[in-house]
Each structure stands twice: as C-alpha cells, then as structure tokens.
Structure 1
Amino acid sequence: MRTITQQELGGPEVLTVVEAPEPRPFPAEVLVRVEAIGLNPLEARLRAGEFPLLGRPPFVLGWDISGVVGEAPQTWRFRPGDEVFGMPLFPRAANAYAEVVSAPALHLARKPASLSHVEAAALPVAGLTAWQGLVDLGGVTEGDRVLVHGGGGGVGHVAIQLAKALGAHVITTASGGKREFVEGFGADEVIDYTAVDFAEVVRDVDVVLDTLGGDTAERSLGVLRPGGHLVTAVAEEDVELAAEYEAAGLRFSGIAVDPDPVALRGLVDLVERGGLRVHVEETFPFERIADAHRALDAGHLRGKLVLTV
C-alpha cells in the first residue's frame, strides 16, 4: 500500500508518499480500505514540530478516515464490505494518511448513506469536538444562547448546526465574507470580527465554544452571563485563565477530543435526520498531500479539506 510519512519536521515538502506493508488488525480491530482522509489544522502543527504529540519523526499523520471494511476477523461489529468512518486512536498515532488503516471497531461507525466518503471523512474530528464541547461539557439545552467562535471553520460550521439542533440561539464570529456561509448553517447572529469587537456587542451568553485560540478565550469572559461556561478546544491547559474564570463565577472547560462511539452515532443520527451537513472546501488527490498542507497552513478555510485515495 501507499502511505504518507515524514522523516523530519518542517514545511509541507517533508511529506512523502512511500510504499509500506499493509497493517494487520489486532483483536477487535478492522482493516479499512480508505477512500478519503479528512485534514485538520492540528496535523499541520504536528508536521512542523509546533506540538510534540507524536514525538520525533518518522511518523504518519492523520485520524479522519472514511472507507470500506476489508477484514474484520475478530469483531462482530462490522463485516467486509461495510462502509465506515471515524477517528481512530486519537491522540495516539492512527497512521491514517494511508491507503489501508487498522482501526478499533469501537472507534468507527457505519457511514450515513447520504454522505459521500469525502464528506464522511471531513466529519469525525470536527463533529466529535463540537459534540463533546456543546453536549458533553457545555450541556447546551433549548433556549440557551451559544457563541461559536470561528463559525466558518471545520469545527465551527458543525458546532453551529449542532447548537441549533439542541434548540439554542446561535451567535458566531466570522469574517464578513463568510456571513452567508454561516447563516446557511443556521447562525442567528453573525459578528464580523474584522469590523466589530465581539466583546463589545455580545452579552448574556450561556456557553462559548472557542475554536480559535489566541486571546479569544480571555476576551470572552465578559460576554458570559453569571454562571456561564467557556469551552475551549485550544486553550485547555491554561491554568491561569481557568482560575480567572473561576474567580469571576464562571465555568471553564478545556476539551481534548477523543474517540467516542456514542457521540459518533449521535452525529450519524443528526445527519440522517437532515440536521447536519458537512462542507468540504477542496479535495486533493493522495499524491498532492504537500499542496493540501499548504492550504492548511494558509488558513481561513470554509469547512474542511479532504484527501482522496
């Protein structure tokens, strides 16, 4: 099979397509013949050495996959030929930038028929982050006011739809050029961060979901109602900021997404009920992985990028 590896840290050019033996599934794992691979900003940071999650190279990046089960020797959950998708093993290496991936069956779900493999591959990391942030940690319920930072991005556009499905009034920050895009996913209010400071105009929010980092979490303190809750996917280890929120009578939670079969099935159900769409801005063939990472590095994406196999 072909896989994409890197022997050193650096720019997109360090990613190389090579031949490698097919993996062998462990008990309770299945072999997935991959059709599409979702790309995430974290992978660009890992490639460049900004975040040492996988240690030193060589390593193979990637977690978001969609494909067809090739072998399922010791699990009852799937059979050869089943179409599946998921985010196996995170934060351990899943070696998902590959034509064949061995993954725990529990970390996969059957692909909704209404989603292509490309769309399904774009969903797991973004969808599970949004679900764990808004449902499991945020406890969003009907009537809540929710602020989603970065509503035009991969996590953000899914989070808008999930919050709406939970019955929330959804406010989001996005550039003016993405207004129609985020409104199309259900945003009730759009704050153009290039023209308006959200901290000056937003108040009485129940839950803030921070997908951006920088000073966004700190500046969100003043928009929350008493007892309100910030959930951040990028500043989860900021002890000082957590203490500042606690001192203000607010809640602070950091989310480090993990494989979650219950949430994954919840996302499938929402897709099948017509409450969730996945936007893929661009696809790249397997061989153009360096170009795909250049697009990741450039940022300001609408939805997700996907590698096709």
Structure 2
Amino acid sequence: MNATPRRLGKYELQELLGYGSTGEVWKGVDRQSRQDVAVKMLHPDLLQNDPNFITFFMKEWQGITALHHPNIVQVREANISRPSESSNETTPYIVMDYIEGQTTLVKSIQRTSHMGMFPPVAEIVNLFTRVGATVDYAHEQGIVHNNIKPSNILLDIKNTTHLPAGEPMLTDFGIAHLPGNNNNVSTLYISPEQVKGEEANPRSDIYALGVILYEVCTGVLPFQGESSMAIMMHHLNTLPTSPMLINPNIPLPLSEVILRAMAKDPKTRFATATLLAGQTNNRREHSSHNCPPGIEPENTCTHPWNHRRSAR
C-alpha cells in the first residue's frame, strides 16, 4: 500500500490519515452519496496468515456494521477489494463515518492528567457514563470490543454539549479479533485473562475501562515495564498501587471503585460498564457530602483533582 490517492470500489481515497500495525486509514469520499468517509485498508499480509481470513472477516463485520449507537463510529461497509488493472492486491477494507474535527482521548489525557492537571470529577463521571453506556450496548448485541484504549476513543470536538473535551466516540471494534492480528491488543490495557490466552469477554472490557479511569485520575498507568511481556506479567500477577497513594486528592471510595474494576478475577469486577460509571458517580456524591470541616464541596471534594498533582 502507498500514499498515492486512488479509488477503492465506490470510494475515492483522498488523504492518508495514518497507519499502524493493521493497515492504513484514509479520508475518502463516497462517490455516490458525496459524503466524507474514513477507510481502513488492512494489510494484505493478514490474508496470507490465515486461509480462512476472508470468511472470518466478512462474518465478523456483519455484526459490527449492525451496531447503531450515537457514541460508536458507524461502520458502513466491510468488503474485499479484488485484484484489478490498477492493483494486483486483494485488500480487505472497512468504511466508517468520518468524524470531522476530532481528537482522541489519549491526546486529551496527555494534555491534562499526564501534566498533573486533572479534569473535574463531574467531567470524568460524564465521560465514563457515556462510554459505559456505549460499551454495554455493544455487549448486549453480543460484541466484545477486546481492545479498549484511549486511542480508540475519539473525541468529537465539534460536539461539546455534554463534555468540554468533545463527545466520546468508540471505534475499532473487531480489529483485535482478526486472524493473524493477535498482537494488536494493547498490553497497557489488557486484562489478566487475555494475558493467559483466554478469549476476551465483557468483563475484559470493564478491566480496560478501569485502567483508563486509573490513568485519568492519577496521571500514570498502573503497570509499566521494560517490555510488553513484563507489563503483561504485571497485569496477571501484580496488584496496582492504590490510586489515592499516587494522587492524595482522590477520595478513598473512588479509589476502591477503580481497583474493583481492575480486579484480577473477572467475577469481582463490575458486571456492566454502566455500573462502573454509576459507582464512580455515587462515590463522587458520597465524597462531596463528607468533606472535612472548612472545605467546600466545589473545591477538593466534588473536584478532588482540580489542581496539580502533589510532588512525589
């Protein structure tokens, strides 16, 4: 694949937006509807790694194209480009809605929590309420994301009705399930059961959300290491440091919610993402009603990390 604009079926590819381990993402135009789209072209090598790839690919994306939710980047089509006069490659591709004026949660975290400037609790609760409802919707349709991470949560900065940073949009469903693409799951957010080689389940997604919540609230990841294997072993065997020991402004009840979402045993985690978000909100309200004397709820209780992280 190359960066030269070309046509793919009824789509005209105009601008290369990015590329990664699974392929390239282009901004394109549907020549029939004249609407902008995002086209993910998967590496042809994936077909060579598994003789049943095409069958699996077409079957897997039938369920994903059926997902219709305001906080999911809509997948319009999944198809295979056959060899032609202009190309001798067979290329699987996925066509999605193009979100104009978007960034990602990872960039938002880098600008805020990683710099010690933590978002107000109300914004964090709102973010996880909206993402949680989205994840639960997918689970109800029998779809496990399997690779939730901040870079897979787009923020539509043209829609700030509910969140100043932008409306969250979950993307990249199904990519981690592709045959020959097992290494695509981020080791920073992977669940213990996935490390053991077990199939991802809905509570694997809950674990990933817990890791993201940990990162947003503390400014650091729970596990780090010199290699991907070292990080995965931490997910499997190491208990995370209590968030309130890293950011002392985090109330104990909220710290407990984060750690429960990251429990090693899937059965100990929250059953749904909505329950996780709900408990985050409940702990926020509990904390605002139990502020120490002389501290107003609008300061360090309702918004316990509205200030810079303490020096460590």
TM-score, normalised via structure 1 length: 0.29
Asked which structure has the greater RCO (Cα within 8 Å, sep 6+), the reply is: 1
Return the structure number with greater helix share.
Answer: 2
Return the structure number with greater strand share.
Answer: 1
Larger radius of gyration: 2
TM-score, normalised via structure 2 length: 0.29
